[in-house]
Structure 1
Amino acid sequence: MVTTKEPALRFTEALVRLAHLVQQVFGEVSREHDLTPQQAQLLCLLIDGPVGMTELTRALHLEKSSLTGLVDRAEKRGLVVRTRDSRDRRACRIELSPDGARIAVLAHEGVTRQLDALTGELPEEHRELLTSAIGGLLAEHTSRTGRAWLPSDHVTDAAAAVTR
Structure 2
Amino acid sequence: MIGFTEGNANESGDSSGLTGSFESNEDNREEAELQLPITDVVRIMEKILPCNARLSQEARQTVQESATEFISFVTSEAADKCQKDNRETINGDDVYWALENLGLSNYAVAVRRYLQKYRDDELERSANSQGCPTDEEYLTLPLFEENKETSRDRR
Range class of TM-score, shorter chain: under 0.3
The structure with the largest alpha-carbon Rg is 2
TM-score (norm 1): 0.24
TM-score (norm 2): 0.25
Q: Which has the higher helix share?
A: 1
